[in-house]
Amino acid sequence: MKWPEDHEHQDLRSGVRQVCSNFPGAYWRGLEPDTYPTEFITAITQAGFLGALIPEQYGGGGATLTEASVILEEISASGGNPAACHAQMYVMGTVLRHGSAEQKQQYLPEIAAGRLRLQAFGVTEPGAGSETTRIQTRAEQIPEGWRINGQKIWTSRALYSDLMLLLARTTPYEECEKPTEGLSTFLIDMRKVEGITIKPIKTMINHSTTEVFFDNVVIPADALIGEAGKGFRYILDGMNAERILIAAECIGDGRYLLEKAVGYANERIIFDRQIGSNQGVQFPLAKAYAQLRAADLVRFDAAAKYDAGKSCASEANMAKLLASEASWAAANAAMDTHGGFGFAVEYDIERKFRETRLYQVAPINNNLVLAYLGQHVLGLPKSY
Ligand SMILES: Cc1cc2nc3c(=O)[nH]c(=O)nc-3n(C[C@H](O)[C@H](O)[C@H](O)COP(=O)(O)OP(=O)(O)OC[C@H]3O[C@@H](n4cnc5c(N)ncnc54)[C@H](O)[C@@H]3O)c2cc1C
């Protein structure tokens, strides 16, 4: 299958693919339903890819977001699942942009060196999904620092992370002029505090996601990132990067699924001819290819704008929307092409089918992306 990869990134792509070649489909299948890919994470960290976005002055790769997105795309395109590590790449962005000089010096070199994991991002709560400002986890200021009480849900990789970036309310919702005020961001060293309970959630994909309970957890004053009350803005700041990176993962998933499907459609002989010679098989694959290519252009446009320091919220949102729909089109076409064998675990189609479905729901639901575009780009009334 032809994929006009950006030639400037060929070395980077082949470097990532080289690491991934030691982790074939059998490796990822063997981890199901819920084993964390520790060997892969160690290898990709040691190769320097997970510290790519950390500036060189802190020992990281100093890569652009475009380059970081290429890394995640290639992991997906190799058949791997970067969801086990993508947060390590971008959650640190909040520390980088809003942390103090001391916080950056304390954490970023350790994260870049792979000695410290910042993989957990605690925002969503059972009672506050897409409506983030309704979170109820509370951080109260006390003489020793802050005391945290509450519950998070879908905090992925918390069991495999040393640090967690937490969004908590420091001023009750009712006392704030705007719902987005009174929220604060904390960097919690989970190895050093008591009162945190983490419970895995069983899901249809291998995602190491959890519920996290905070019971009078005392954290030091210097765990606060930036100013108290401004946490919602800090989290929003990181969302464009996250959406562009997720879009790239979807593009990688779509490439993987299409490549397998095209190979199968060319080989499989039914009624004395290749199944790919039937339009009913060929056209959905061709359509998914066109959708992926279009989404990829928006993804690179969004990433280029981000790297140039230009506003890119609409492009980042569109990239995530289009890429998650395109990879899902590829997943469905690949399932149909494989017929019954699409359901056989050893073909990896059903695994990627499940994995790529997530991105229409998380990190933000596509309905909320459409609501953003409707309101902020088209100038329509707020729909919620
Ligand atoms: C595997 C997995 C991993 C995750 N990892 C993390 C993580 O690491 N950290 C974290 O903080 N969160 C994480 N999440 C949470 C994820 O971000 C949320 O699931 C997502 O934001 C949607 O929230 P919700 O599930 O509560 O859905 P809800 O907000 O309850 O929405 C349910 C449905 O209603 C629709 N809906 C709601 N309101 C509107 C509206 N006004 N207009 C149109 N449609 C609407 C939604 O689009 C959706 O289809 C993860 C989720 C999953 C499944």
Domains detected in the chain: 7-112 (1.10.540.10), 118-229 (2.40.110.10), 233-377 (1.20.140.10)
Q: Which residue has the tokens 């069983």?
A: 202
pLDDT at 5: 61
What does DSSP assign to residue 249?
A: H
Mean pLDDT across the chain, nearest whole number? Answer: 96
Pocket mutation for ligand 1, best pick of 119, 123, 124 (most atoms within 8 Å of C-beta) = 124
Chain segment 226-262, per-residue pLDDT in tens: 999 999 999 988 999 999 999 999 999 999 999 999 9
Count of CB atoms situated within 10 Å of the CB of 158 = 23
92, 125, 140, 276 from 119: Cα distances, Å: 9, 18, 25, 42
Q: Is the Cβ atom of 78 under 6 angstroms away from ligand 1?
A: no
Query: What DSSP assignment string belongs to 303-315?
Result: HHHHHTT---HHH
Our answer on whether the CB atom of 155 is closer than 6 Å to any ligand 1 atom is yes
pTM above 0.85, yes or no: yes
Residue 124 CA, closest ligand 1 atom number: 11
Binding site membership of 84 for ligand 1 (Cβ less than 6 Å)? no
- Site to probe by mutation for ligand 1, drawn from 365, 369, 380, 383 as the one with most ligand atoms within 8 Å of Cβ, is 365
What pLDDT does 60 receive? 96
* Rounded distance from Cα 362 to ligand 1 centre (Å): 6
Q: Which two tokens stand for residue 193?
A: 């505090």
pLDDT confidence of residue 370: 98
Q: 218: part of which helix (H) or strand (E)? A: strand 210-220
Sequence-separated (6 or more) residues with CB below 8 Å from residue 75: 16, 20, 44, 81, 82, 249, 252
User: Residue 276 phi/psi, 5° resolution?
Assistant: -65, -10
What does the pLDDT read at residue 3?
A: 79
- Specify the residue with its C-alpha closest to ligand 1, atom 30: 129
Polymer length in residues for the chain = 384
The answer, yes or no, to whether any atom of ligand 1 lies below 6 A from the CB of 374, is no
Which residues, given as ranges, of the chain have pLDDT below 50?
none
CA of 135 to the centre of ligand 1 (A): 13
